[in-house]
Structure 1
Amino acid sequence: MDSISSAAVHLPSNKRRKIYTKTTINALSDDIISTIFSFLDLIHLVRCTSVCKSWCRAIDKSKSLENAYHKQRGIFGGDLSIPTSSDRSWKRRLHDLAISQHRSCLHTGLVNIHQWKGHSEWIDKCKMKMGLLTSGSGKVMRLWSIERYKCVGEYDFPYAGSLIDFNFDESKIVGLIGSHVCLWRRNERKSIFLSRDGQFSKGLCMSYVDPEAVVGCDDGRARVFDMYGRKWSRIIKMHDGPITCLSLTEDQLLIGGSSCGRVSLSDLSSDQQVTTLKTNDNADLSSLCYNSYSNVLFAGSRAGRVASWDLRMMKRLWEVRVSPNFITSIQHMVGDISTIAVGGIDGVLRFVDQQNGTILSNCIMDESSRKLYRSQTPQSNVTRRKGIRVLEDARFDLMPRISRPLINSLAVGMQKVVTTHSDGYIRVWRFNK
């Protein structure tokens, strides 16, 4: 009896384990999902409709999108009544409203900055897509969640080379390491492919659109690498001097900027040069940005100038000096034909009108907010600052460098801009009305 009693005492304690199962959003009914979505604003609802068909169906069924749309009426001007024609017209109205709100916030909205130490050293470049940010220093690349400020992936270099350029999509990351093109799967730390060496002496930049990566070299030639065939497929002569920046469009138009202030356009499908565009001062070009929605190309130079061309007419639209110093990066949000963001070595984040080159706003960090807003986020390594807008005629050279650290690169998303810096910090500038 004693042994039985002892077993009876100990047996339940060993079995007393709860089994937990994950509950996904798919287990919720459309009514519950609709109730959750009713708490979101218009911009976030539009984003949710693109996640999956079930979310889109629940949002349409609940009229949440329509109700949120009505709340926005009159805020940004224009006729915002609910369209009743086609689904395409309805989506176009939503797109226009989202862009209008984005533009308004960049020009006049409140600025909050969240920053964290992303790398131990100089961050060369960053690219942002699908709520994810890829940042690269000389020795490592990292993938970040922009909403959670959390590293979700880290990628080792296959040998002791330095990172020059990179890009990524839904499933893979492509990088130019020294004179090699490397390929990683997004969910794997080590590279799965490394191109052969000796194909070029020095690569200066890279652009990637699946299935091809194009490397701009110091001899003025662009080398095209076939990612699926895993071989260098052809060489395109673009400039007499080094190719300093590259852009490859979805319709196979290769755009290359040079150290002599010229832009060369080549048809990648035929390897034929289309035309050459020139700047006024022939200064070294440092950054290219092509807007596929308006077919307009923007180029930033080491002399602080930004030039714009309409590629349909092959005509220069404007050229303006927007900064007294070297421009390192220019970008715009996908679908926005109104505003571009410009960053450079003076550390001022500028917003420029795409139509005429007018400077719309200049932003720097407010160092007086450093202690007041420190550690306001759930992540202990993230600090929060305020951003301030300053007048264009302000003496930026007299402002402390700590409030305007050098901007190495930037990326633009909905009502936010991400900048990377030589001190290893990543900063997310959030603009709110």
Structure 2
Amino acid sequence: MEAGSSAGGKRRKKTMSDRGKSVQGSGGGRVLLLGADVICAVFSHLDHFDVARCAAVCRSWRDIILSSSLMRDIYLERGPRVFGTAGVQVLEGAPLKQYLEELAKEQHRIALVNGHPEVYQWQGHTVRVSQCRMRRGMILSGVGDKVIKLWSATDCQCLDVYSVPGTNPLVDMDFDESKVVGLVGRQIYIWRRNGKMSVLQSRDHIISRALCMRYLDPDAVVGCEDGRSRVFDMYSGSCSKIIRMHSGPVTCLTLTDDQLILGGSSYGSITISDLSSGEKVATLKSSVSPIGISSLCFNPDNHLVFAGSTAGHSHCWDIRTLRPVWEVRASANIIYSVHHLPGDTSTLATGGIDGVLRFLSQRTGEVLASYVTSKNEAVASMTGKNKSTIMQFQVKSLSNEARIDNVPRLQRPSITCLAVGMKKVVTVNDEKYVRVWRFKESNRA
């Protein structure tokens, strides 16, 4: 079954297409007329993070940045300590792309832990919103009212609106470059960026009160109150497997590229199952009892599984050994969300009912930094392109010994969900608002 999405879809599609043409079209061509040496000389005035961003603008810029001997000479001269005494030999063994990526991730870590954050907040919905996702500079927010909204993380402007049909509530959502996937009641809806909407038809008895969903193309996995996870093929539209994971509700899910499903339960355990066979692989348990697992994420770069619990604990297991790595009491109350930047193996962001945004060490669980807004009043405001008011708040850093109950609740509304991007974190706080926390390094104020 297909139907049109929200009004104005064709207009938005054209706008997005035109935006893509502007990047690849005449402007980029005129820049290339300067020649590679001149372009490299311009890039040499940027720092490593900005050069890495320029490499993502278009293929021509990327090829110049990653292959030019002039750029290699510039960065070898600027930071010889990175390469050690072997210098050029290490550079040849480690491509410039890898070098720039590592520098960008290190700057990301420094900014989160020691930087100067600012919060930008705007009203994204008409009622309270409890879920958000962030990918490739775009934010998805929803669950609360009957719309899902796509935003630009750069200028906080609305890019698209997806209406949720019918009377059933939106339970969970996710998205990729081409589509938005939403769990609505007992059905999965797909809104494609070309303006079309489709529904994965299923018999009513297949999904028994869905609680959560995760999507990793081509599969969408739904966690249910009966302790089972339902696996749906996004292309055939069929339920390919029903996997028994827990004796109690499946409260949260995460998926791995190695075809594994990890599902947390309200009883404090995490079950790992094989997506292809449906077989149970292992069970991860906490030493803290009784607790419930309220949030999950997996980092494929260091093979670590992170969880937040209803008792305020943060947990870490190594999926290779199935052994716990650390377990810390990061908060006095439930942790609703844990997340990290893809590719980053240093920091983990957590948020929960106490409203404090915390960054933990992925290796040890040590709390590296904690933040709340410093005042309830905005220090500045601006009007966006869609006439929305964007408020700016200052941020206060808290010591590990600080008493959270001494911080007014208005400065720390509960964080129901968060997502991490490069030098930024998006949060929703069970209010009408969406917040973007932007972090600047101390030496780049």
**TM-score, with structure 1 as normaliser:** 0.88
Give percent identity, aligned residues only: 42
3-state SS, counterpart of residue 86 of structure 1: helix
RMSD: 2.4
Distance 1:367 1:28, change over 3 A: same
The structure whose RCO (Cα within 8 Å, separation 6+) is larger is 2
Q: Separation in 2 of the partners of 1:383 and 1:73? A: 42
Deviations 1:287-324 (A, max 9, x none): 00100000000110111001110011111111111000
**106, 113, 118: which is aligned to 1:107?**
113
Aligned to 2:266: 259
Q: Separation in 2 of the partners of 1:159 and 1:130? A: 30
Matched, 1:120 2:126: yes
Cα contact 1:174–1:181 (8 A) shared by 2: yes
Distance 1:382 1:222, change over 3 A: same
Aligned to 1:425: 433
Aligned-pair CA distance for 1:63: 3.9
Larger Rg: 1
Distance 1:242 1:273, change over 3 A: same
Aligned-pair CA distance for 1:50: 2.9
Aligned to 1:55: 61
Aligned to 1:206: 213
Q: Separation in 1 of the partners of 2:389 and 2:121? A: 9
Q: Separation in 1 of the partners of 2:383 and 2:182? A: 35
Q: Structure 2, unaligned stretches of length 5 or more?
A: 1-20
**42, 50, 58: which is aligned to 1:44?**
50
Matched, 1:150 2:150: no
Letter in 1 for 2:112: L
Deviations 1:132-181 (A, max 9, x none): 11111321101111112111011011211111111111111111111111
Q: Which 10-residue stretch deviates more, 208-217 or 48-57?
A: 48-57
Aligned-pair CA distance for 1:65: 7.0
**360, 368, 387: which is aligned to 1:352?**
360
**407, 427, 432: which is aligned to 1:399?**
407
Deviations 1:238-264 (A, max 9, x none): 100000000111121110000100000
Aligned-pair CA distance for 1:101: 1.1
Aligned-pair CA distance for 1:406: 1.1
Matched, 1:333 2:344: no
3-state SS, counterpart of residue 422 of structure 1: coil
Letter in 1 for 2:101: H
Aligned-pair CA distance for 1:29: 4.0
**TM-score, with structure 2 as normaliser:** 0.86
Aligned-pair CA distance for 1:37: 4.2
Aligned-pair CA distance for 1:64: 5.2
Q: Separation in 2 of the partners of 1:90 and 1:38? A: 14
Matched, 1:132 2:134: no
Deviations 1:60-106 (A, max 9, x none): 549457646755677xx885966654374433222221111111111
- Aligned pairs, number: 409
3-state SS, counterpart of residue 161 of structure 1: coil
Aligned to 2:169: 162
Aligned to 1:15: none
Aligned to 2:320: 312
Letter in 1 for 2:152: S
Q: Separation in 1 of the partners of 2:188 and 2:231? A: 11
Aligned to 1:11: none
Cα contact 2:83–2:90 (8 A) shared by 1: no
Matched, 1:244 2:246: no
Cα contact 2:156–2:384 (8 A) shared by 1: no
Letter in 1 for 2:199: F
Matched, 1:220 2:222: no
Q: Separation in 1 of the partners of 2:165 and 2:56? A: 36
Q: Structure 1, unaligned stretches of length 5 or more?
A: 1-20
Q: Separation in 1 of the partners of 2:150 and 2:325? A: 37
Q: Separation in 2 of the partners of 1:367 and 1:217? A: 40
